[in-house]
Homo-oligomer: A and B are copies of this chain.
Amino acid sequence: MIKIAVDAMGGDYAPKEQVEGAVLAIKMIDDIEITLYGDETEIRKYLTNEERITIVQSDGVIGMGEKDPIFAIRSNRKSSMALALSSVRSKENDAIVSSGATQALIAGAHILVGRMKSMKRTAIAPLIPNVKGTSTILLDAGGNIGIKPEFMVQQAYFAKVYAQEVLNIKEPKMGLLNIGSEPGKGRELDQQVSKLFEANENINFIGNVEPKEILDAPCDILISDGFTMNIAMKTIEGTAKGLGKILKQELKRGFIGKIGMLLSARNLKNFKHRLAPEDIGGAMIYGLKGVVVKAQGSSRSVGFYNAIRQAALIVRSDVLNKVKTIIESDVS
């Protein structure tokens, strides 16, 4: 049995969607057991089936807009997020899924789960939808400031194993997000990383990729430092949000327009759905001693279920040990 810790109290619609997502996961996936960390009374309101589900009472919640995530974790050791994270460190669970505040989860994972010895820097890698109907890994979207080129190679290894094991891509293609497509573009960091990737037999490097191809990238993994990729990821989010508003403003103009919009309602919903995190799953935090998956804060039950499914798949395919092997055998 794969044991999954669920932070039931983190997220915009917690604990309802988290609990319903867990129940759905139990129904759909045979080889998992779930422990829900949170307020038992609240959880029970939505718990329709207790099969393979345990509840552990927590005390306190890490807020979504936490300004000082490290302090929040340190001073809330009994919170649902902290208890769930600690249960992975102690091996009570194999993985944790949380849709709580990203920075708190990253900080908490560092403190309570711990960094994998062989990996020098953690990273967070969301999946974004693309024009082809599949998804692209963005790495590192966590906003880490300053990184050495060699550490980005380790992160690339992790993404490669992840893409192979979880996304079923045999030879994942890796692209460097950069301001120009020609070799030699970008900052000192980009040029150094390019050289390391180019020379590395373990990495299927296709070169620079410009962000104007970001939703139609010719690669499976798009990599940059934490600052740049965080800017890019949030720009995608902001552009999608802004364009959605502008589209709505325009579509509902005039009588004919309103009818057209009504007839298109189903398709517009599908459009929105393709961009939603629901079917894509969560973002894995790379480089920890355990499996930590961040589901979107706005996750509904299906989205949260998908993140649980993803976490189970990561455990089942033994991603962490495979990453360890590739990093430790790295003689480059």
Within 8 A of B (CB), among A240-258: 240-243, 245-247, 249-254, 256-257
Instruction: Map CB proximity to B onto A29-56 as digits: 1 under 8 Å, 0 otherwise.
Output: 0000000000000000000000000000
Number of copies of this kind of chain in the complex? 2
Q: Are the CB atoms of B243 and A267 closer together than 8 Å?
A: no
**Nearest Cβ on chain B to A304's Cβ, whole angstroms:** 21
Q: Is A238's CB under 8 angstroms from B263's CB?
A: no
Cα A179 to Cα B254 with chains together (Å):
39
Shortest C-beta distance, A238 to chain B (Å), equals 4
Please report the C-alpha to C-alpha distance between residue A150 and residue B72 in the assembled complex, in whole angstroms.
36
> Given the interface contacts A216-B245, A241-B216, does A145 sit within 8 Å of B187 by beta carbon?
yes
Starting from the known contacts A67-B182, A215-B246, 19 additional A-B residue pairs (CB-CB under 8 Å) come to A145-B187, A179-B230, A211-B235, A212-B237, A212-B238, A212-B241, A214-B235, A215-B239, A215-B243, A215-B245, A228-B228, A231-B231, A231-B235, A246-B275, A250-B270, A252-B267, A254-B267, A256-B263, A257-B263
Residue of B nearest to A144 (CB): B179
Contacts of A239 in B (CB 8 A): 214-215, 235-236, 239-240, 243
- Which residue of B has the minimal Cβ distance to A143? B179
